[in-house]
Structure 1
Amino acid sequence: MAATIITTEDLIEFKKELLEEIKKIFESQTTTQNKKWLKSAEVRELLNISPGTLQNLRINGTLSYTKIGGTMYYDHTDIEKLLNGNKVNALPVLFK
């Protein structure tokens, strides 16, 4: 089995690459969170729901939306309110 020698320069290069990858991950997450208006596909991905479930949320008035042309937009704050309004508090488990 051959030994591989790792130099200080190798470690510095690895650190730079690792930091760049971490930056990319954070940037992709913050752009979705900072957007005021989300399209249907983004909302479905965010909530992990099907197109039919999103349609039901629109129809029964649970989630408001704005329609421009054929595209529906959802306010990010409305989605947060929906999630916070349906929060379920977990009851503590009592042991006997």
Structure 2
Amino acid sequence: MRLDIITKEDLQQFKTELFTELKDIIGQKKETNERQWLKSAEVRKMLNISAGTLQNLRIIGTLPFRKIGGSMYYNRSVIEKIIEGDMYEK
């Protein structure tokens, strides 16, 4: 029967590797955990615009939205295109 001896240094190294892997997994999950649909307040903050400007963008059709109940929701990918300057010039 073979016997392996585990030292404190081995355990410390294992702990360090484990924490590193867990941080990577959690970081990846945060990146993919972004919601597709954003509320009005989030969009106003991202675009740095007022509620009136957001309403005007909806009215003229520049910014597509969905109304669910009393709340407006906007697609994140459209907002990101606006930020990149592909759809709307501030």
TM-score normalised by L of structure 1: 0.58
Judging changes above 3 Å, is the alpha-carbon distance between structure 1 residues 80 and 70 closer, same or farther for their aligned structure 2 residues? same
Question: What is the number of equivalent residue pairs in this alignment?
Answer: 77
Aligned AA (1:59): Q
Write out the 4+ residue segments of structure 1 that deviate beyond 3 Å after TM superposition: 40-45
Change (3 A) 1:26 1:67: same
Q: Considering only aligned residues, what root-mean-square deviation do their CA atoms show, in Å?
A: 2.9
SS in 1 for 2:63: coil
Identity among equivalent positions (%) equals 29
Counterpart of 1:94 in structure 2 is none
Question: Which has more radius of gyration?
Answer: 2
Match of 2:67 in 1: 67
**Contact 2:37/2:75 (CA < 8 Å) preserved in 1?**
yes
| Superposition deviation, residue 38 in structure 1 | 2.2
Provide the residue aligned with 1:81 in structure 2: 81
Where does structure 1 lack aligned partners over 5 or more consecutive residues? 1-5, 88-96
1:9-88 equivalent positions in 2, closer than 5 A: 9-32=11-34, 35-43=35-43, 47=46, 49=48, 53=49, 55-61=51-57, 62-84=62-84, 85=86
